[in-house]
Chain A
Amino acid sequence: MLPETFQALILAMRPQFPRLTAANSRPTSPFDESYNCIAWAANELDRWWWPDSQHQSYWPPEIPREVTLDAFIRAFSLQGYTEHSDAAIELGKQKIALYSIGDGKPTHAARQLADGWWTSKLGQQIDIEHDLTALDGPVYGSVARILARPAR
């Protein structure tokens, strides 16, 4: 994506992501609706993950189909993640940030990169890399939990 195109997209996204700027984020993929942020955080590119009641999305069958932080933490625990107190980059650790809004409703997940930035799939839209607070706002809320596992 051309820088000017991303700049225009950021402007269009201002109401949803008021903190997002070209300085704290960069685009890394074209539009792709095959996967969402939860799948992307779990390193999957061909399925949409969500615990919807109508079973239209993938959700690990052993985890309750509940839109709660607990259910999301349990889903990522299947990949070896546990709750962690610190979002700072740590050698030998892979981290995921879970975002929530309101009374703890999960909205989004981001995965930490080797340089300390985070990678996110924005809904049905593009992937971006960003700093941790760049997506705070009325759509995703803010980071509610940090998960970590030994780097693989």
Chain B
Amino acid sequence: MQSAQLQRQLNELTGYYALPASSRRDPLRERFRSLAQQWRRETQWLSSTTDIAMHPAYQAIIGMGTEALPMILEDLRQNSGHWYWALKAISNEDPVVPRDRGSLKKMRIAWLQWGETKGLIRA
């Protein structure tokens, strides 16, 4: 009984590592995706930057810390979105010049360039 269980676990492990890295389940990435979806769905009608950033799912993503930065930047590149508060909160940096605050297109470019410079996302 125990050996059958061990064999099944071994098979699962072998199968997991036989997959390309990009296809493996990544709990952190899955958690991020789930939280980001919830955040988008529940804040889409809001104008308040503060309420958008204070949403519990967004705060949970901030709570993931620096590990979340590559995922946020990738999501920003693919889907855009109000990620700037989180990026600033986690990194303690802000590459957006004051005159561009509120201009989401310019903010997106500034943060993606920042991420590339830091090696967090590919250029």
Contact = CB atoms under 8 A, between A and B. Distances in A.
B19 to A, nearest CB: 35
B44 A34 contact: no
Contact of B81 (A33, A36, A39): A33
Interface residues on B, range: 20 to 34
A49 B102 contact: yes
B39 to A, nearest CB: 11
Contact of B101 (A33, A55, A122): A55
B106 to A, nearest CB: 9
A46 B44 contact: no
B45 A48 contact: no
Interface centre among B45, B53, B82 (most CB of A within 10 A): B45
Contacts of A52: 48-50, 53, 85
A108 B101 contact: no
Interface in A91-120: 107-109
B103 A58 contact: yes
Interface residues on A, range: 20 to 34
B44 A123 contact: yes
Contact of A53 (B46, B47, B50): B50
Given A34-B105, A56-B88, A50 B81 contact: no
B104 interface: yes
B9 interface: no
A123 B45 contact: yes
24 contacts: A16-B45, A36-B47, A46-B105, A47-B103, A48-B103, A48-B104, A49-B102, A50-B47, A50-B48, A52-B53, A54-B49, A54-B88, A55-B98, A56-B53, A56-B101, A56-B102, A57-B101, A58-B102, A67-B50, A107-B46, A109-B47, A123-B45, A125-B44, A139-B45
Chain A to chain B: the 4 pairs with minimum beta-carbon distance, closest first: A58-B102, A52-B49, A36-B47, A123-B45
Interface of A: 13, 16-17, 33-34, 36-39, 46-50, 52-59, 67, 107-109, 121-125, 139
Given A56-B53, A123-B43, A139-B46, 18 more contacts: A33-B104, A46-B105, A48-B49, A50-B49, A52-B85, A53-B50, A54-B49, A54-B53, A54-B89, A56-B107, A58-B101, A67-B50, A107-B48, A123-B44, A123-B45, A123-B47, A124-B45, A125-B45
